[in-house]
Protein backbone atom coordinates (compact mmCIF):
# COMPACT_ATOMS: atom_id res chain seq x y z
CA UNK A 1 0.00 0.00 0.00
CA UNK A 2 2.36 2.69 -1.26
CA UNK A 3 0.05 5.64 -0.70
CA UNK A 4 -0.55 5.05 2.95
CA UNK A 5 1.68 5.83 5.88
CA UNK A 6 -0.35 4.65 8.86
CA UNK A 7 -2.39 1.55 9.10
CA UNK A 8 -4.46 1.49 12.22
CA UNK A 9 -6.23 -1.60 13.47
CA UNK A 10 -9.10 -1.11 15.86
CA UNK A 11 -10.98 -3.79 17.69
CA UNK A 12 -13.84 -2.67 19.92
CA UNK A 13 -14.66 -5.01 22.73
CA UNK A 14 -17.91 -5.71 24.50
CA UNK A 15 -18.46 -7.97 27.47
CA UNK A 16 -20.19 -11.31 27.16
CA UNK A 17 -20.79 -11.42 23.45
CA UNK A 18 -23.05 -14.39 22.66
CA UNK A 19 -21.61 -17.67 21.64
CA UNK A 20 -18.74 -18.46 19.36
CA UNK A 21 -18.13 -20.59 16.34
CA UNK A 22 -14.70 -22.12 16.27
CA UNK A 23 -13.66 -22.39 12.64
CA UNK A 24 -13.28 -26.15 12.54
CA UNK A 25 -11.44 -27.31 9.47
CA UNK A 26 -14.09 -28.66 7.18
CA UNK A 27 -13.84 -31.89 5.30
CA UNK A 28 -16.41 -33.40 2.99
CA UNK A 29 -14.80 -36.77 3.40
CA UNK A 30 -16.14 -38.90 6.25
CA UNK A 31 -16.44 -36.17 8.87
CA UNK A 32 -16.23 -37.54 12.37
CA UNK A 33 -17.32 -36.36 15.72
CA UNK A 34 -14.34 -36.16 18.05
CA UNK A 35 -14.71 -37.28 21.63
CA UNK A 36 -11.82 -35.54 23.30
CA UNK A 37 -13.79 -32.91 25.20
CA UNK A 38 -16.48 -33.10 27.93
CA UNK A 39 -18.80 -30.13 27.46
CA UNK A 40 -21.97 -29.67 29.51
CA UNK A 41 -24.99 -27.51 28.76
CA UNK A 42 -27.11 -26.64 31.78
CA UNK A 43 -30.60 -25.22 31.33
CA UNK A 44 -33.04 -24.36 34.12
CA UNK A 45 -36.42 -26.13 34.03
CA UNK A 46 -39.46 -23.95 33.17
CA UNK A 47 -37.33 -21.17 34.59
CA UNK A 48 -39.64 -18.16 35.03
CA UNK A 49 -42.55 -20.38 36.09
CA UNK A 50 -40.36 -22.26 38.59
CA UNK A 51 -39.22 -18.99 40.16
CA UNK A 52 -42.88 -18.02 40.55
CA UNK A 53 -43.60 -21.34 42.29
CA UNK A 54 -40.96 -20.49 44.91
CA UNK A 55 -43.11 -17.48 45.78
CA UNK A 56 -46.43 -19.35 45.52
CA UNK A 57 -45.53 -22.93 46.58
CA UNK A 58 -49.19 -23.95 46.82
CA UNK A 59 -49.30 -23.81 42.99
CA UNK A 60 -46.84 -26.73 42.71
CA UNK A 61 -48.30 -29.46 40.54
CA UNK A 62 -50.78 -27.10 38.84
CA UNK A 63 -50.86 -25.76 35.32
CA UNK A 64 -49.31 -22.29 35.64
CA UNK A 65 -48.65 -19.84 32.81
CA UNK A 66 -46.41 -16.77 32.99
CA UNK A 67 -46.88 -14.02 30.43
CA UNK A 68 -49.00 -11.22 29.07
CA UNK A 69 -48.42 -7.51 29.39
CA UNK A 70 -50.89 -6.16 31.92
CA UNK A 71 -51.62 -9.29 33.92
CA UNK A 72 -52.43 -8.34 37.54
CA UNK A 73 -50.50 -10.12 40.34
CA UNK A 74 -52.36 -12.49 42.70
CA UNK A 75 -54.40 -10.77 45.39
CA UNK A 76 -53.56 -11.68 48.98
CA UNK A 77 -56.52 -12.32 51.30
CA UNK A 78 -56.95 -11.69 55.01
CA UNK A 79 -56.25 -15.38 55.70
CA UNK A 80 -52.77 -15.01 54.13
CA UNK A 81 -53.76 -16.98 51.03
CA UNK A 82 -53.86 -15.71 47.47
CA UNK A 83 -56.51 -15.43 44.80
CA UNK A 84 -54.93 -16.16 41.42
CA UNK A 85 -55.84 -14.96 37.95
CA UNK A 86 -57.42 -17.64 35.74
CA UNK A 87 -56.11 -18.12 32.21
CA UNK A 88 -59.66 -18.64 30.99
CA UNK A 89 -60.56 -15.07 32.02
CA UNK A 90 -57.72 -13.48 30.07
CA UNK A 91 -58.61 -10.97 27.36
CA UNK A 92 -55.83 -9.35 25.31
CA UNK A 93 -53.09 -9.94 22.81
CA UNK A 94 -50.35 -11.13 25.18
CA UNK A 95 -48.30 -14.30 24.69
CA UNK A 96 -47.05 -17.08 26.95
CA UNK A 97 -43.53 -16.39 28.21
CA UNK A 98 -43.28 -19.82 29.75
CA UNK A 99 -45.45 -22.44 31.42
CA UNK A 100 -45.09 -25.25 33.94
CA UNK A 101 -44.79 -28.79 32.62
CA UNK A 102 -48.37 -29.42 33.81
CA UNK A 103 -49.54 -26.58 31.52
CA UNK A 104 -47.39 -27.93 28.66
CA UNK A 105 -49.21 -31.26 29.04
CA UNK A 106 -52.37 -29.32 28.10
CA UNK A 107 -50.67 -27.87 25.01
CA UNK A 108 -49.56 -24.50 26.40
CA UNK A 109 -46.02 -23.47 25.33
CA UNK A 110 -43.78 -20.36 25.12
CA UNK A 111 -44.74 -17.95 22.35
CA UNK A 112 -48.39 -19.02 22.04
CA UNK A 113 -51.19 -16.44 22.27
CA UNK A 114 -52.73 -16.38 25.76
CA UNK A 115 -56.31 -16.23 24.47
CA UNK A 116 -55.74 -19.30 22.34
CA UNK A 117 -54.24 -21.08 25.37
CA UNK A 118 -57.21 -19.99 27.49
CA UNK A 119 -59.31 -22.39 25.42
CA UNK A 120 -56.82 -25.23 25.94
CA UNK A 121 -56.33 -24.74 29.68
CA UNK A 122 -58.98 -22.37 31.08
CA UNK A 123 -58.32 -23.36 34.70
CA UNK A 124 -54.58 -22.75 34.51
CA UNK A 125 -53.23 -19.99 36.77
CA UNK A 126 -51.97 -16.91 34.94
CA UNK A 127 -49.15 -14.91 36.54
CA UNK A 128 -47.43 -11.70 35.40
CA UNK A 129 -43.68 -11.65 34.65
CA UNK A 130 -41.21 -10.34 37.23
CA UNK A 131 -37.87 -9.98 35.47
CA UNK A 132 -36.09 -8.70 38.54
CA UNK A 133 -36.84 -11.98 40.35
CA UNK A 134 -35.68 -14.02 37.33
CA UNK A 135 -32.42 -12.08 37.11
CA UNK A 136 -31.85 -12.61 40.85
CA UNK A 137 -32.28 -16.40 40.56
CA UNK A 138 -30.20 -16.39 37.39
CA UNK A 139 -27.28 -14.87 39.31
CA UNK A 140 -27.80 -17.33 42.18
CA UNK A 141 -27.72 -20.46 40.04
CA UNK A 142 -24.69 -19.27 38.08
CA UNK A 143 -22.80 -18.52 41.30
CA UNK A 144 -23.70 -21.99 42.60
CA UNK A 145 -22.36 -23.66 39.45
CA UNK A 146 -19.20 -21.54 39.63
CA UNK A 147 -18.51 -23.00 43.07
CA UNK A 148 -18.17 -26.44 41.45
CA UNK A 149 -16.82 -25.71 37.92
CA UNK A 150 -14.58 -22.86 36.80
CA UNK A 151 -14.81 -22.90 32.99
CA UNK A 152 -18.25 -21.40 32.27
CA UNK A 153 -19.78 -19.66 29.26
CA UNK A 154 -22.82 -17.56 30.10
CA UNK A 155 -25.48 -18.13 27.44
CA UNK A 156 -28.40 -16.17 28.81
CA UNK A 157 -30.78 -15.90 31.69
CA UNK A 158 -31.26 -19.63 32.32
CA UNK A 159 -28.43 -21.43 30.59
CA UNK A 160 -24.68 -21.92 30.61
CA UNK A 161 -22.04 -24.13 29.02
CA UNK A 162 -19.41 -25.80 31.20
CA UNK A 163 -16.12 -27.39 30.22
CA UNK A 164 -15.57 -30.51 32.34
CA UNK A 165 -12.69 -31.88 30.25
CA UNK A 166 -9.96 -31.26 32.81
CA UNK A 167 -11.94 -32.71 35.72
CA UNK A 168 -10.99 -36.08 37.16
CA UNK A 169 -14.47 -37.01 38.43
CA UNK A 170 -16.77 -39.21 36.36
CA UNK A 171 -19.24 -37.14 34.34
CA UNK A 172 -22.39 -38.39 36.08
CA UNK A 173 -20.99 -37.69 39.54
CA UNK A 174 -19.88 -34.19 38.59
CA UNK A 175 -23.22 -33.42 36.95
CA UNK A 176 -25.06 -34.55 40.10
CA UNK A 177 -22.84 -32.28 42.20
CA UNK A 178 -23.70 -29.34 39.94
CA UNK A 179 -27.42 -30.09 40.08
CA UNK A 180 -27.24 -30.36 43.87
CA UNK A 181 -25.40 -27.03 44.15
CA UNK A 182 -28.08 -25.34 42.00
CA UNK A 183 -30.87 -26.89 44.06
CA UNK A 184 -29.25 -25.92 47.39
CA UNK A 185 -28.77 -22.31 46.29
CA UNK A 186 -32.13 -21.75 44.61
CA UNK A 187 -34.57 -24.55 45.36
CA UNK A 188 -34.85 -25.00 41.58
CA UNK A 189 -34.13 -27.92 39.26
CA UNK A 190 -32.13 -27.85 36.06
CA UNK A 191 -31.30 -30.26 33.26
CA UNK A 192 -27.80 -31.05 32.05
CA UNK A 193 -26.59 -32.49 28.77
CA UNK A 194 -22.99 -33.66 28.43
CA UNK A 195 -21.30 -34.51 25.13
CA UNK A 196 -18.02 -33.78 23.28
CA UNK A 197 -19.25 -30.35 22.11
CA UNK A 198 -21.60 -27.42 22.62
CA UNK A 199 -23.88 -28.21 19.71
CA UNK A 200 -24.73 -31.71 20.97
CA UNK A 201 -24.83 -30.76 24.64
CA UNK A 202 -27.41 -28.07 23.89
CA UNK A 203 -29.59 -30.73 22.23
CA UNK A 204 -28.90 -33.18 25.08
CA UNK A 205 -29.94 -30.92 27.94
CA UNK A 206 -33.43 -31.02 26.44
CA UNK A 207 -33.58 -34.81 26.04
CA UNK A 208 -34.37 -35.67 29.63
CA UNK A 209 -36.17 -32.55 30.96
CA UNK A 210 -37.17 -31.70 33.64
CA UNK A 211 -34.51 -32.46 36.30
CA UNK A 212 -32.67 -34.46 33.66
CA UNK A 213 -29.18 -35.65 32.94
CA UNK A 214 -28.28 -36.91 29.47
CA UNK A 215 -24.75 -38.03 28.73
CA UNK A 216 -23.97 -38.63 25.07
CA UNK A 217 -20.95 -40.33 23.54
CA UNK A 218 -19.87 -40.33 19.91
CA UNK A 219 -21.54 -43.77 19.52
CA UNK A 220 -24.95 -42.37 20.53
CA UNK A 221 -25.15 -39.87 17.67
CA UNK A 222 -27.09 -42.12 15.29
CA UNK A 223 -29.48 -43.55 17.86
CA UNK A 224 -30.26 -40.49 19.99
CA UNK A 225 -29.64 -37.45 17.80
CA UNK A 226 -30.39 -38.47 14.23
CA UNK A 227 -34.08 -39.33 14.90
CA UNK A 228 -34.69 -35.76 16.15
CA UNK A 229 -36.20 -32.94 14.08
CA UNK A 230 -33.66 -30.60 12.43
CA UNK A 231 -35.14 -27.69 14.40
CA UNK A 232 -33.60 -29.18 17.56
CA UNK A 233 -30.20 -27.97 16.32
CA UNK A 234 -29.43 -24.51 17.68
CA UNK A 235 -28.83 -22.56 14.48
CA UNK A 236 -31.47 -24.22 12.34
CA UNK A 237 -34.29 -21.71 12.69
CA UNK A 238 -37.82 -21.72 11.28
CA UNK A 239 -36.75 -20.50 7.82
CA UNK A 240 -34.05 -23.14 7.33
CA UNK A 241 -36.36 -25.81 8.79
CA UNK A 242 -39.06 -24.95 6.25
CA UNK A 243 -36.57 -24.94 3.38
CA UNK A 244 -35.13 -28.30 4.45
CA UNK A 245 -38.65 -29.71 4.68
CA UNK A 246 -39.19 -28.62 1.08
CA UNK A 247 -36.16 -30.73 0.19
CA UNK A 248 -37.62 -33.74 2.01
CA UNK A 249 -35.26 -33.35 4.98
CA UNK A 250 -36.98 -33.38 8.37
CA UNK A 251 -34.69 -35.21 10.78
CA UNK A 252 -31.06 -34.62 11.70
CA UNK A 253 -30.29 -38.08 10.31
CA UNK A 254 -31.82 -37.15 6.95
CA UNK A 255 -29.73 -33.99 6.97
CA UNK A 256 -26.61 -36.06 7.65
CA UNK A 257 -27.42 -38.24 4.65
CA UNK A 258 -28.15 -35.29 2.35
CA UNK A 259 -25.69 -34.67 -0.43
CA UNK A 260 -23.18 -31.96 0.58
CA UNK A 261 -23.40 -30.56 -2.96
CA UNK A 262 -27.16 -30.08 -2.55
CA UNK A 263 -26.70 -28.30 0.80
CA UNK A 264 -24.06 -25.98 -0.67
CA UNK A 265 -26.24 -25.21 -3.65
CA UNK A 266 -29.36 -24.54 -1.56
CA UNK A 267 -27.85 -22.76 1.45
CA UNK A 268 -24.59 -21.24 0.21
CA UNK A 269 -21.08 -22.36 1.01
CA UNK A 270 -20.83 -21.34 4.65
CA UNK A 271 -24.23 -22.37 5.98
CA UNK A 272 -24.34 -25.45 3.74
CA UNK A 273 -21.02 -26.67 5.20
CA UNK A 274 -22.18 -25.90 8.71
CA UNK A 275 -25.45 -27.85 8.24
CA UNK A 276 -23.49 -30.88 7.07
CA UNK A 277 -21.06 -30.70 9.99
CA UNK A 278 -23.82 -30.09 12.54
CA UNK A 279 -25.78 -33.13 11.38
CA UNK A 280 -22.61 -35.22 11.86
CA UNK A 281 -22.22 -33.88 15.40
CA UNK A 282 -19.10 -31.90 14.56
CA UNK A 283 -18.52 -28.68 16.47
CA UNK A 284 -15.14 -27.49 17.64
CA UNK A 285 -16.27 -24.17 19.13
CA UNK A 286 -14.47 -23.42 22.36
CA UNK A 287 -16.32 -21.99 25.34
CA UNK A 288 -16.36 -18.20 25.31
CA UNK A 289 -15.49 -17.12 28.79
CA UNK A 290 -13.92 -13.74 28.04
CA UNK A 291 -14.55 -10.53 26.16
CA UNK A 292 -15.34 -10.67 22.47
CA UNK A 293 -15.09 -7.92 19.84
CA UNK A 294 -18.12 -5.81 18.90
CA UNK A 295 -16.54 -4.39 15.77
CA UNK A 296 -13.37 -4.70 13.70
CA UNK A 297 -11.91 -1.90 11.64
CA UNK A 298 -8.89 -0.98 9.57
CA UNK A 299 -7.95 2.49 8.44
CA UNK A 300 -5.24 4.20 6.45
CA UNK A 301 -3.91 7.78 6.44
CA UNK A 302 -2.36 8.72 3.07
CA UNK A 303 1.06 10.24 2.50
CA UNK A 304 -0.55 12.86 0.23
CA UNK A 305 -4.20 13.80 0.22
CA UNK A 306 -5.97 12.07 -2.63
CA UNK A 307 -8.57 13.34 -5.07
CA UNK A 308 -11.72 11.26 -5.52
CA UNK A 309 -11.56 11.50 -9.34
CA UNK A 310 -7.88 11.97 -10.28
CA UNK A 311 -6.62 9.34 -7.81
CA UNK A 312 -9.38 6.82 -8.44
CA UNK A 313 -7.02 3.91 -9.12
CA UNK A 314 -5.06 4.43 -5.90
CA UNK A 315 -8.25 4.83 -3.88
CA UNK A 316 -9.73 1.66 -5.34
CA UNK A 317 -6.57 -0.26 -4.50
CA UNK A 318 -6.57 1.07 -0.94
CA UNK A 319 -10.23 0.26 -0.25
CA UNK A 320 -9.70 -3.22 -1.73
CA UNK A 321 -6.76 -3.80 0.60
CA UNK A 322 -8.72 -2.54 3.61
CA UNK A 323 -11.55 -4.95 2.73
CA UNK A 324 -9.03 -7.80 2.40
CA UNK A 325 -7.64 -7.03 5.82
CA UNK A 326 -11.02 -6.69 7.54
CA UNK A 327 -12.11 -9.93 5.90
CA UNK A 328 -8.97 -11.69 7.16
CA UNK A 329 -9.66 -10.31 10.67
CA UNK A 330 -13.22 -11.68 10.52
CA UNK A 331 -12.03 -15.08 9.32
CA UNK A 332 -9.33 -15.15 12.02
CA UNK A 333 -11.93 -14.57 14.72
CA UNK A 334 -14.55 -16.86 13.12
CA UNK A 335 -16.95 -13.95 12.81
CA UNK A 336 -19.30 -12.51 10.21
CA UNK A 337 -20.64 -8.97 10.14
CA UNK A 338 -24.10 -7.66 9.47
CA UNK A 339 -23.04 -4.00 9.16
CA UNK A 340 -20.27 -2.52 7.01
CA UNK A 341 -19.15 1.10 7.29
CA UNK A 342 -16.79 3.54 5.62
CA UNK A 343 -14.94 6.37 7.35
CA UNK A 344 -13.59 9.24 5.28
CA UNK A 345 -11.43 12.02 6.72
CA UNK A 346 -11.03 15.00 4.41
CA UNK A 347 -8.13 17.44 4.06
CA UNK A 348 -10.06 19.92 6.23
CA UNK A 349 -10.14 17.19 8.92
CA UNK A 350 -13.92 16.80 8.72
CA UNK A 351 -15.00 13.16 9.08
CA UNK A 352 -17.89 11.45 7.35
CA UNK A 353 -19.09 7.91 8.07
CA UNK A 354 -21.68 5.87 6.21
CA UNK A 355 -22.81 2.33 6.94
CA UNK A 356 -25.05 -0.28 5.51
CA UNK A 357 -26.88 -3.09 7.32
CA UNK A 358 -27.15 -6.28 5.34
CA UNK A 359 -29.91 -8.88 5.24
CA UNK A 360 -27.35 -11.69 5.56
CA UNK A 361 -24.09 -11.60 7.54
CA UNK A 362 -20.94 -11.57 5.39
CA UNK A 363 -17.26 -12.31 5.75
CA UNK A 364 -15.53 -12.31 2.34
CA UNK A 365 -13.52 -9.38 0.99
CA UNK A 366 -15.67 -9.36 -2.15
CA UNK A 367 -18.90 -9.04 -0.14
CA UNK A 368 -17.33 -6.27 1.96
CA UNK A 369 -16.33 -4.44 -1.26
CA UNK A 370 -19.86 -4.64 -2.61
CA UNK A 371 -21.34 -3.33 0.64
CA UNK A 372 -18.74 -0.59 0.74
CA UNK A 373 -19.60 0.56 -2.77
CA UNK A 374 -23.08 1.38 -1.50
CA UNK A 375 -21.63 3.43 1.37
CA UNK A 376 -19.22 5.28 -0.93
CA UNK A 377 -22.06 6.34 -3.23
CA UNK A 378 -23.62 8.16 -0.29
CA UNK A 379 -20.53 10.26 0.57
CA UNK A 380 -20.33 13.89 -0.61
CA UNK A 381 -16.75 14.40 -1.76
CA UNK A 382 -16.24 18.05 -0.87
CA UNK A 383 -12.46 18.01 -0.45
CA UNK A 384 -9.36 15.89 -0.98
CA UNK A 385 -9.19 12.74 1.14
CA UNK A 386 -6.75 12.30 4.00
CA UNK A 387 -7.88 8.97 5.45
CA UNK A 388 -10.09 6.01 4.59
CA UNK A 389 -11.35 3.37 7.00
CA UNK A 390 -13.47 0.24 6.75
CA UNK A 391 -15.43 -1.06 9.71
CA UNK A 392 -17.30 -4.34 10.24
CA UNK A 393 -19.83 -4.38 13.07
CA UNK A 394 -22.95 -6.24 14.28
CA UNK A 395 -20.67 -9.26 14.50
CA UNK A 396 -22.13 -12.75 14.67
CA UNK A 397 -20.83 -16.29 14.70
CA UNK A 398 -21.94 -18.50 11.83
CA UNK A 399 -24.82 -20.85 12.43
CA UNK A 400 -26.38 -19.21 15.47
CA UNK A 401 -27.94 -16.10 13.99
CA UNK A 402 -31.33 -17.60 13.09
CA UNK A 403 -32.34 -18.70 16.57
CA UNK A 404 -30.87 -15.75 18.40
CA UNK A 405 -32.87 -13.41 16.18
CA UNK A 406 -36.06 -15.39 16.83
CA UNK A 407 -35.44 -15.26 20.57
CA UNK A 408 -34.82 -11.49 20.52
CA UNK A 409 -38.02 -10.85 18.61
CA UNK A 410 -39.98 -12.77 21.15
CA UNK A 411 -38.41 -10.97 24.08
CA UNK A 412 -39.60 -7.70 22.60
CA UNK A 413 -43.13 -9.00 22.21
CA UNK A 414 -43.57 -10.20 25.78
Q: Which residues bind Mg ion (CB under 5 A)?
A: 43-44, 47, 158-159
| Least spacing, CB of residue 201 vs ligand TTP, in Å | 14
Nearer to Mg ion, 134 or 271 (CB): 134
**In the bound complex, what is the minimum distance in angstroms from residue 55's beta carbon to Mg ion?**
18
Nearer to Mg ion, 206 or 324 (CB): 206
Q: Which of 402, 284, 290, 408 has its CA nearest to residue 338?
A: 402
The residue (of 50 and 297) whose beta carbon lies closer to Mg ion is 50
**338 SS3 class:** strand
User: Whole-number minimum distance, CB 103 to ligand TTP, in Å?
Assistant: 11
Partner from ligand TTP, Mg ion, none contacting 161, C-beta within 5 to 8 A by type: none
Query: Any idea what DSSP says for residue 401?
Result: H
Q: Measured from the CB of residue 400, what is the shortest distance to ligand TTP in angstroms? A: 15
- Determine contact, residues 404/365, Cβ cutoff 8 Å: no
Q: Catalytic pick from 52, 102, 153, 159? A: 159
Give yes or no for a contact between 340 and 363, defined as CB atoms under 8 angstroms apart: no
Binding site for ligand TTP (CB under 6 A): 43-48, 97-98, 110-111, 157-158, 209-210, 407, 410-411, 414
Choose from ligand TTP, Mg ion, none: what does 414 bind? Cβ within 5-8 Å by kind.
ligand TTP
- To ligand TTP, the closest distance from the beta carbon of 129 in angstroms equals 8
Candidates 24, 5, 34, 26; CA nearest to 273 is: 26
User: Taking every pair of C-alpha atoms in the chain, what is the biggest distance, in angstroms?
Assistant: 86
Decide if 159 is catalytic.
yes
Comparing CB distances to ligand TTP, the nearer of 103 and 371 is 103
Question: CA 331, CA 367: separation in Å to the nearest integer?
Answer: 13
Q: Which does 131 bind (CB under 5 to 8 A by kind): ligand TTP, Mg ion, none?
A: none
Contacts 24+ apart (CB under 8 A), 152-155: 152/287, 152/289, 153/19, 153/287, 153/288, 153/289, 154/16, 155/18, 155/19, 155/41
Q: Which is nearer to ligand TTP, 33 or 49 (CB)?
A: 49
**Contacted entry of Mg ion, ligand TTP, none for residue 411, CB cut-off 5 to 8 Å set by kind:** ligand TTP
- Quick one: which of 330, 281, 307 has its CA closest to 381? 307
Taking Cα atoms as reference points, which of 205, 213, 201 lies closest to residue 281? 201
Pick what 363 binds: Mg ion, ligand TTP, none; C-beta below 5 to 8 Å, kind-dependent: none
Cis peptide before 306 (omega within 30 of 0): no
Kindly list the catalytic residues: 159
Amino acid sequence: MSESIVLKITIHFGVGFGCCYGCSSFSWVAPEMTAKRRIAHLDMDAFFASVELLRYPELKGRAVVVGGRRVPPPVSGSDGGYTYGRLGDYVGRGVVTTSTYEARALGVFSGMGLMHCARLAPDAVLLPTDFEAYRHYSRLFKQAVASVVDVIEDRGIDEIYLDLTARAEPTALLAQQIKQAVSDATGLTCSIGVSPNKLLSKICSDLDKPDGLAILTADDLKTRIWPLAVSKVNGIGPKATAKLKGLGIETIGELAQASPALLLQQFGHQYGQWLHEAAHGIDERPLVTSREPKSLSRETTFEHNLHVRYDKAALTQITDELCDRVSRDLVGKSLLCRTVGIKVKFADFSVVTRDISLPQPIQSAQALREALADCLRRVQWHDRIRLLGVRASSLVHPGVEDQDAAQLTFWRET
